[in-house]
A and B are shown apart, each in its own frame.
Chain A
Amino acid sequence: MTTSFILNGRNVSVNLPKDTPLLWVLRDELHLKGTKFGCGIGECGTCTIHIGGKAARACITLISEVEGAHITTIEGAEAQEEPMRSLQAAWDEVQVPQCGYCQSGQIMQAVLLLKDNPNPTDEEIDSVMCGNLCRCMAYRRIRKAIHLAAEKLNALKTEKRPEKTSPKQQETTSQGEK
């Protein structure tokens, strides 16, 4: 069965049995190895990708379900700018990964958490990230990095807001510049 969808912004078409899990399509057919296999039953979160801007576990999503959908993998997530940039910066600063295997799944889930909830509490982080397991137990660093990313995002928002000046001050400034 031929299925067409949009992968990381590009049109893609594959011809595979309709019950092929998306994970294998991405890894074996399309050679994007960033998405990992963890359990195969949607219970560990390692294979997390975005479909239609929403998190999905690629190992249990069948190719027949995604006709015409927009799919983003970790390889394409970078192009999404914020909150990805802040998240990557935070991940780097906190030095989150231990062995690194679960990390693409963690990041893909975390970026959506921040999109929906720019200031998550510990409880909210736990609830949303609960489905992403980390055998090396880097959970505390993951949570710390998410909080740090949220802080960075807040700082960016404050920077972007132009400072309010009175008309007189503006005049003086422009005259000064002359």
Chain B
Amino acid sequence: MLKRIWIYSFALCAFLGVSFYIYAWHHPILPIIPIKPSYFSSRNIQHGALLAEIGRCAQCHTRRDGAVGAQFAGDYQIKTSFGVIYTPNITPDVKTGIGGWSEEAFARALRQGISRDGRQLYAIFPFAHYTKMTDQDIADLYAYFMTRPQISQIPRQNHVVFPLNWRFLQGWWKLFYLSSGMYKPERHHDPLWNRGAYLAEAVAHCSSCHTPHNEMGAEISSKLYGGAKFEAGYAPALNAHNPSPLPWSEEELYHYLREGRAPLHGNSVRAMGEIIHQDLVHLPDADIHALAHYFADKMRRPEKEQKVVEAKRAFLMQAAHQDLEFARDGDEAARLYQVTCAQCHSNFRQEALPQHSELGLNSFLWMDDPTDFLQIVIFGITSKEGQKGVVMPSFVHSLSDHDIAAIAAYLRRTRTNLPAWTNLEKKVAVIRAQMKSQTIISQ
């Protein structure tokens, strides 16, 4: 009896194992003779270039540690919880890049995460998003990549923990987390919404950063756009749980995505600063409106909250009057704030002046983690981030840990009704140390 159970169990496992292998196995696509660049029309190439900007291909496929590599030649180091991966070369070099890839192979990589030779690609590559792209967009991307300079570059060896270095096991990930296929427009939403959704989900893959991931490295679908923490900062929630004191209207989002600053919320810094000023800057206005329209819907808050917006805004703008009063009363932190910060950050009128970053309205002040706020004080904002051409100096050399902590605590106390931040001085010290060891990429 026992023997039979063993035999049947073994047979079942073997059967499942073989079925899975068959599922995970993909046929290699024969290499082609590289297509001459002149074959592609300049219109397709240009549109492909735009998609590559929005999709941020260069950011992951260009080496940035140590010697800066040639664009798209790969060898970019990604540290994951299951090892270190180096991205492949996607220039049209035949031997070391994708020069021998047909459009079919290229499309399969984007839609299903399979390499030309049939190997599974690691799910670090966001094919779960790119799979939603239209055939024409993929064709345009192909045209763009096939007309780039050919660079011969072999990436460094991956170091992935056993047994995940058996690529076919990625099939499991795909079984659970990949639903391949083009984006399907939602009928009950208008075309502008669908265009925004397409750009955000299929190309820009915003949820990759703005959604928490599980241990398998996949986005947790029940917490879509719920925000996620990284070493370099926090990507805020882009759903109804967004922490900003005032809701993100479509107009605010448009200003933010187009100009890098939203008058009633704050400025784009670091990663978002880069995305807005280097990538989204290439999108036509209509597409920025589409993204704003889509995310305004995603971040919509309950009806009753909308009504108190004006009252809240007026209340938050009162802070400048308070500051002076507190400073005169002898509040040390208020005085420090007044002398150091007020000349740029006070607003006395009801409209928040765009160049005066009203701190009471600033999203960072309302987050549970003070890290993002502290980073701004410590790193400052360069002319290339936030509002282009406007600078906030870095206070890393001029204020002590104690001072920065005091200012942060003061602002949290006087501008918000949220619980005080804890361990501020320690957190400042940590960020300062990170800046010194340059583990955070600052400009």
Using a CB–CB cutoff of 8 Å, the interface residues on chain A facing chain B are 40-43, 45, 51-57, 60-62, 64-70, 109, 116-117, 120-121, 123-124, 126-133
Q: Give the nearest-CB partner of A69 in chain B.
A: B383
Contact B390 A51 (CB under 8 A): yes
- Main SS at interface, chain B: loop
Contact B340 A131 (CB under 8 A): yes
B330-347 interface bits toward A, Cβ cutoff 8 Å, 1 = contact, 0 = none: 000000001111111010
The 9 closest A-B pairs by CB, nearest first: A41-B398, A52-B389, A52-B390, A69-B383, A60-B393, A65-B382, A61-B393, A131-B343, A51-B391
20 A/B residue pairs, CB under 8 Å, sorted by A:
A41-B397, A41-B398, A42-B393, A52-B391, A53-B390, A56-B393, A60-B394, A60-B397, A62-B394, A65-B380, A65-B393, A65-B443, A67-B383, A109-B343, A117-B348, A121-B348, A124-B348, A127-B323, A130-B327, A130-B339
Indicate which residue in B324, B389, B398, B443 contacts A126 across the interface (CB closer than 8 Å): B324
B320 at the interface (CB under 8 A from A): yes
B370-393 interface bits toward A, Cβ cutoff 8 Å, 1 = contact, 0 = none: 000000000011111001111111
When distances are taken between beta carbons in the complex, the residues of chain B under 8 Å from A116 are: 353, 356
Indicate which residue in A56, A65, A127, A133 contacts B342 across the interface (CB closer than 8 Å): A127
When distances are taken between beta carbons in the complex, the residues of chain A under 8 Å from B392 are: 56
B349 at the interface (CB under 8 A from A): yes
Give CA–CA (A69, B382) in the complex, Å: 9
Indicate which residue in A54, A57, A65 contacts B355 across the interface (CB closer than 8 Å): A54
Contact A52 B383 (CB under 8 A): yes
Using a CB–CB cutoff of 8 Å, the interface residues on chain B facing chain A are 320-321, 323-324, 327, 338-344, 346, 348-349, 353, 355-356, 380-384, 387-395, 397-399, 443
Q: Which of A54, A65, A67, A117 has the most CB of B within 10 A?
A: A65
A66 in contact with B348 given A40-B398, A109-B343 (CB within 8 Å): no
Contact A55 B343 (CB under 8 A): yes
Give CA–CA (A68, B289) in the complex, Å: 27
When distances are taken between beta carbons in the complex, the residues of chain B under 8 Å from A57 are: 393
When distances are taken between beta carbons in the complex, the residues of chain B under 8 Å from A64 are: 382, 443
Contact B340 A69 (CB under 8 A): no
Shortest Cβ distance from residue B430 to the other chain A in the assembled complex, whole angstroms: 21
Contact A65 B389 (CB under 8 A): no
Contact B398 A130 (CB under 8 A): no
Q: Give the nearest-CB partner of B323 in chain A.
A: A127
Q: Give the nearest-CB partner of B353 in chain A.
A: A116
Q: Give the nearest-CB partner of A129 in chain B.
A: B343
Give CA–CA (A61, B379) in the complex, Å: 10
Contact B353 A65 (CB under 8 A): no
Q: Give the nearest-CB partner of A44 in chain B.
A: B339
Indicate which residue in A41, A70, A127, A129 contacts B348 across the interface (CB closer than 8 Å): A127
Contact B338 A130 (CB under 8 A): yes
Q: Give the nearest-CB partner of B355 in chain A.
A: A54
Contact B344 A54 (CB under 8 A): yes
Q: Give the nearest-CB partner of B390 in chain A.
A: A52
Give CA–CA (A124, B388) in the complex, Å: 27
When distances are taken between beta carbons in the complex, the residues of chain A under 8 Å from B343 are: 45, 55, 109, 128-132
Q: Which of B346, B348, B391, B394 has the most CB of A within 10 A?
A: B391
Supplied contacts A52-B387, A62-B380, 6 more A-B pairs, CB within 8 Å: A41-B398, A42-B398, A52-B355, A67-B383, A69-B391, A127-B320
Shortest Cβ distance from residue A43 to the other chain B in the assembled complex, whole angstroms: 6
